[in-house]
Amino acid sequence: MGISFLWAIILGLGILLFPETPKYAFRGHEAKRTMVRPLGVSEHHYKVEKELFEALDAEHAGSKPRWYEMFTRPRMAYRTILGVVLQALQQLTGANFFLLLRDDRVRSYRS
């Protein structure tokens, strides 16, 4: 159980230290700075300007999604139900049970 805390700490620090995505950072130069770092270009480069314009255009063109659209949009009900069923079947296969008894099996093979 102790090693799982290590992964949680790494994930928590990553969330705190990584910058916001450009989608949520459309506040002046903050989005440009976020886009410049992985591209390795200046803030006034045409790629940055083009992607920023496309993202803003797409943001304004679409409407705000509603929670019920995950069932009413084309094939979204199928995808949502498939995800829920796959997760339920994964739990019902007993993967946690096998992982729990793995140490006992390894010990029994050694002796």
Per-residue model confidence as pLDDT tens digits over 75-101: 888 988 999 998 888 778 766 666 666
pLDDT by residue, tens only, the chain of 111 residues? 577 788 888 888 988 887 766 666 665 567 777 778 777 888 888 888 888 888 777 767 776 777 887 778 888 889 889 999 988 887 787 666 666 666 666 666 666
pTM score: 0.38
- The domain limits of the chain are 1-62, 66-111
The DSSP code sequence of 74-109 is TTHHHHHHHHHHHHHHHHHTTHHHHHHHHHHHHHHH
**54 in Cβ contact with 39 (< 8 Å):** no
Q: Report the alpha-carbon distance of residue 22 to residue 48 in Å, rounded.
A: 11
**35 in Cβ contact with 48 (< 8 Å):** yes
The rounded mean pLDDT for the chain is 77
